[in-house]
């Protein structure tokens, strides 16, 4: 008997049963595939959600750290130069100013290197505002250095130095306030649904 004759001898009911079985198996496999696909998508979405929550938590914690550390550092930076202004005005001598700044630095609880790291690693948006402060700091350091050299030479008159020093000191205070505002604005990067050595000083 040929293969063709053999196939023709098979009852039609058997073909229907075979086709039904194949179709049923195919539908079952398709259902399993669709179910697995949906499960994989849910797992992927859950992982992405968990990662986002973790990232938001990290950013929020780093932002809080930047706010606290930069506040301490910039407050100290603004007060650091005040004794030298008093020397220029004739209210203190240079040794007294040095003693005050040294004492202030010893009692300070901040890490300026940590501030720069947080900015570089997490919040480059405030880099320009911070650079403005550092530029003013360098100018103030140069004035203090120049006045100190004159003072050691026997001339304690700081009136001419003060004319340049005072405006820069006021600008420093303003820029520190501006930086603080910029840091506060960064809170928008934290999702509501999350769970929560420098030259001187």
Tell me whether residue 15 is in a domain: no
Tell me which residue range forms the domain holding 168: 62-189
Q: What is the pTM of this model?
A: 0.71
Q: DSSP secondary structure string, 96-141?
A: HHHHHHHHHHHH----HHHHHHHHHHT-GGGHHHHHHHHHHHHHHH
Q: DSSP secondary structure string, 128-182?
A: HHHHHHHHHHHHHHHHHHHHHHHHHTT----HHHHHHHHHHHHHHHHHHHHHHHH
Report how many domains make up the chain. Answer: 1
Tell me whether residue 106 is in a domain: yes
Which tokens go with 110? 């901040």
pLDDT digits (tens, 9 = 90+) for 153-178: 999 999 999 999 999 999 999 999 99
pLDDT at 6: 53
pLDDT at 110: 82
Query: N- to C-terminal Cα distance for the chain?
Result: 104
Tell me whether residue 52 is in a domain: no
Nearest partner of 146 among 166, 132, 160, judged by Cα: 160
Tell me whether residue 164 is in a domain: yes
Tell me whether residue 183 is in a domain: yes
pLDDT at 162: 96
For 173, how many CA atoms within 13 A lie in the half-sphere containing its CB? 10
């Amino acid at each position: 008997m040929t293969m063709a004759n053999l196939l023709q001898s098979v009852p039609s009911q058997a073909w229907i049963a075979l086709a039904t079985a194949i179709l049923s198996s195919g539908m079952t496999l398709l259902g399993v595939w669709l179910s697995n696909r949906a499960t994989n998508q849910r797992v992927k979405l859950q992982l992405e959600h968990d990662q986002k929550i973790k990232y938001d938590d990290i950013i929020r914690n780093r932002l809080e750290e930047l706010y606290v550390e930069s506040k301490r550092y910039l407050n100290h930076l603004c007060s650091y130069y005040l004794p030298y202004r008093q020397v220029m005005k004739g209210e203190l001598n240079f040794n007294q100013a040095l003693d005050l700044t040294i004492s202030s630095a010893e009692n300070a609880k901040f890490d300026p290197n940590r501030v720069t790291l947080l900015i570089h690693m997490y919040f480059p948006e405030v880099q320009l505002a911070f650079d403005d402060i550092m530029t003013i700091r360098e100018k103030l350091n140069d004035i203090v250095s120049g006045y100190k050299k004159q003072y050691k030479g026997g001339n304690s008159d700081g009136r001419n130095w003060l004319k340049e020093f005072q405006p820069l000191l006021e600008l420093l205070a303003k820029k520190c306030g501006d930086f603080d505002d910029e840091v506060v604005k960064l809170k928008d990067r934290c999702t509501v649904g999350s769970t929560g050595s420098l030259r001187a000083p």
